[in-house]
Structure 1
Amino acid sequence: MAEDLHLSLRERTRRAVQAELVDVAQRLFVEHGYEATTVDSITEAAGLSKRSFFRYFASKEDLVLGKYDLLGEQLQASLAARPAEEPVWTALRRMFDDVVTYTGDRDNSARMEEMERIVSTSPALNAAYLQRLDQIQTGIATIVRNREAQAGRPRASTDPAPEAIVGAAFACMAAARRTATQFSDQPLDGLLDRAMTELWTFDR
């Protein structure tokens, strides 16, 4: 039991340091640009040695992508914590609450947009991002399958519905994000609510 607790604390510490490095790097990317921001400048701003940095990330590129790893873990934890009796589509909407709250801050939103620009303009980063996004959605679909089984509605492994509904939820978030970026007076939460409601009731 003590060993399990020790490992849990160590893992929480690792994730906290990773999150801090990602946060510091995002700020520097926005202020100075991705190319001008070096590992040395990130470690200096974070108060870590370069050697310590490489314990958590293999490179600056890995740090950029690490943001999505952390996001995936957060989304899976949020969905897993939703009430078992809650409809899946509602639970998926609530899964995004922390993202909505984060982007509600202008500085955070600017950081997210800069990170998305960096990723989209680099073929290598964009390919790796798409791979991570697929892994995130696969992990979330597994949670959806588990929720369905616990509710007495087991899904066969050949049933694509869990992957489809998760993909649809992410498509709604992407559409809401694009609209919020284009029209700054439109809050993300309202746009996401509308997108998910419209998709669920479309043509019914």
Structure 2
Amino acid sequence: MVNEEDPTPIRERTRRLVQTELTTVAQDLFVAQGYDDTTVDQIAAAAGMSRRTFFRYFASKDDLVIGKYDLLGDRMVDALDARPADEPVWQSLRRVFDIATEYVDDPRLRARNDAMSAIVQSTPQLNARYLEKLQRIQQLLGGRVAARLHGADPDPTDPRPAAIVGAAFACMQAARIAYLASDQAAPIGTYLDRAMEAVHIA
């Protein structure tokens, strides 16, 4: 039976789950033996599927690396959609960023995420696509914020949705920088709270 609280079709939810599993398996292999030395065949085998099945979910190894940002974007959009409609947008975005902070607060997730970030940043084609995906995430969230502000008839000339989302991401980056510069005794969420409170966007 379809969960009425989740409008995503079952087939698409299943696809996302498989993509998430493949991404996790691949990241572990990349961290253990290096991106260039890891093959699609190895990833497929570790995930318990054939090479042919792998290509049903990702067109290439590069797509698998960058695909995690699509999955992250989908999770963030779903999280924003799940927030109360009457909640201040800025507060909703803060809660959405809990998805990102979990990758920093969990030592194992942070180590894997940092290793993957290093791979992306050191590979020009991956870094270019990462920036495209980051822009897509902000656009998706901006669309949701626009709907919050204008209802069913968003105003494409209103700069506020993009500005609000952009400011939220800037706060996340500032919090990460401050967290890494600290002794990391406090969770990154503490730094994010301080950053977002400093901006005071409604």
Q: TM-score, normalised by structure 2?
A: 0.89
Structure 2 equivalent of residue 199 of structure 1:
199
Question: Deviation string for 1:74-96 (max 9, x for gaps)?
Answer: 00111111111111111110111
Q: Measure how far apart 1:101 and its partner are.
A: 2.6
Structure 2 equivalent of residue 140 of structure 1:
141
Structure 1 distance, partners of 2:108, 2:35, is: 17
> Aligned pairs, how many?
196
Structure 1 equivalent of residue 170 of structure 2:
171
Structure 1 distance, partners of 2:117, 2:200, is: 27
Structure 2 distance, partners of 1:46, 1:144, is: 37
Structure 1 distance, partners of 2:77, 2:162, is: 14
Output the amino acid matched with 2:118.
R
Matches within 5 A, 1:89-100: 89-100=90-101
Greater shift after overlay, 173-182 or 87-96? 173-182
Question: Deviation string for 1:27-73 (max 9, x for gaps)?
Answer: 11222221222112211111111111111001110000000000000
> Which runs of no fewer than 5 residues in structure 1 stay unpaired?
none
Structure 1 equivalent of residue 26 of structure 2:
25
Structure 1 equivalent of residue 190 of structure 2:
190
Structure 2 residue 107 is the aligned partner of structure 1 residue 106: yes
Distance 1:48 1:181, change over 3 A: farther
Structure 2 residue 147 is the aligned partner of structure 1 residue 156: no
Greater shift after overlay, 138-147 or 191-200? 191-200
Structure 2 distance, partners of 1:27, 1:46, is: 11
Identity %: 52
Structure 2 distance, partners of 1:139, 1:37, is: 32
Output the amino acid matched with 1:175.
A
Question: Segments of 4+ in structure 1 off by > 4 A?
Answer: none
Q: Provide the alpha-carbon RMSD of the alignment.
A: 2.2
Output the amino acid matched with 1:190.
T
Q: Measure how far apart 1:146 and its partner are.
A: 0.6
Structure 2 distance, partners of 1:117, 1:185, is: 24
> Which runs of no fewer than 5 residues in structure 2 stay unpaired?
none
Output the amino acid matched with 1:188.
I
